[in-house]
Amino acid sequence: MSEDRLADAVTGARAVLFDLDGVLVDSSAVIDRVWRAWAARHGLAWETVEPLLPGRRASETVRLLAPWLDAAAEGAELERIQAADEDGIRACPGAVQLTEQLGLPWAIVTSGSRATATARLRVTGLRIPAVLVTADDVRHGKPDPEGYRQAALRLGVEPRHCLVVEDAEVGVRAALAAGAPVAGVAGSGLGSAAGLVDLLIAGPADLIGLVGSAAPGPLVEESA
């Protein structure tokens, strides 16, 4: 990537929109445990289930994998179980430092429920941002751009001036559809969208010193 493109995408950002799981929070142990149990209950091969998990709302994943089930009810139960399971949840390296030092408005856009998101943020010591867009707040999940557009609007920053940090293919496609540049967290979750990101990073620690400056972030939404 050219230096000009890097400057436009990263150092020129006026706000940052983070995905949650796989970007700020490592929840892979819980996701693996909960979805493996669900797959086993419904006789689905894990190899079929796993690739569809990154970035999608639980109900939409159920709809894709088991259209004969009540996707809304199954998704709600999967979220209830995940919100209560904190075993193995931890902050991704650099996530707390980056969000605490980020001198820009920032938000989280997640495909998880508000209950799941806030539980994971609290257990990892990450602050709950003033703008937290969850699966409960949108009609259409990723790869639809609704979530990222809503977050940018609530921050008062045009999407093209927001840097999105994502680890999932559907999330990257949602960000691009919203008109935002993307820093992609390297890994299998990016899939075919790996070549579409503006910057490939190992994790949030790579953005420390690149985006924003050492200044307080946004206020915590205590009522979330």
Per-residue pLDDT tens digits for 37-67: 999 999 999 999 999 999 999 999 999 999 9
Share of the chain above pLDDT 90, in %: 87
Rounded to whole angstroms, how far apart are CA atoms 40 and 45? 8
Any idea which residue has 């990101």 for tokens?
Answer: 197
User: Is 45 part of a structural domain of the chain?
Assistant: yes
Q: Exactly one of 19, 167, 198, 206 is catalytic; which is it? A: 19
Closest of 158, 204, 203 to residue 181, by C-alpha: 158
* pLDDT (tens digit per residue) in 109-166: 999 999 999 999 999 999 999 999 999 999 999 999 999 999 999 999 999 999 999 9
Contacts of 127 (CB under 8 A, 6+ apart): 99, 100, 121, 217, 220
| pLDDT for 12 | 81
CATH of the domain at 97: 3.40.50.1000
Same domain, 128 and 35: no
pTM: 0.90
Note if 26 is an active site residue.
no
- As given in the structure block, the two tokens for residue 132 are 């937290």
Decide the pairing of beta strands 162-166 and 90-91: unpaired
Same domain, 61 and 135: no
- The total number of structural domains that make up the chain: 2
Element (H or E) spanning 48, and its range? Answer: helix 46-49
User: Is 217 part of a structural domain of the chain?
Assistant: no
Q: Exactly one of 4, 21, 32, 70 is catalytic; which is it? A: 21
| pLDDT for 70 | 97
Rounded to whole angstroms, how far apart are CA atoms 152 and 205? 23
Any idea which residue has 């927001």 for tokens?
Answer: 162
Residue 32: give the domain boundaries. 28-84
Same domain, 75 and 130: no
Same domain, 126 and 75: no
Note if 21 is an active site residue.
yes
User: Is 37 part of a structural domain of the chain?
Assistant: yes
Same domain, 101 and 152: yes
Decide the pairing of beta strands 25-26 and 90-91: antiparallel
Q: Is the pLDDT of residue 2 over 50?
A: no
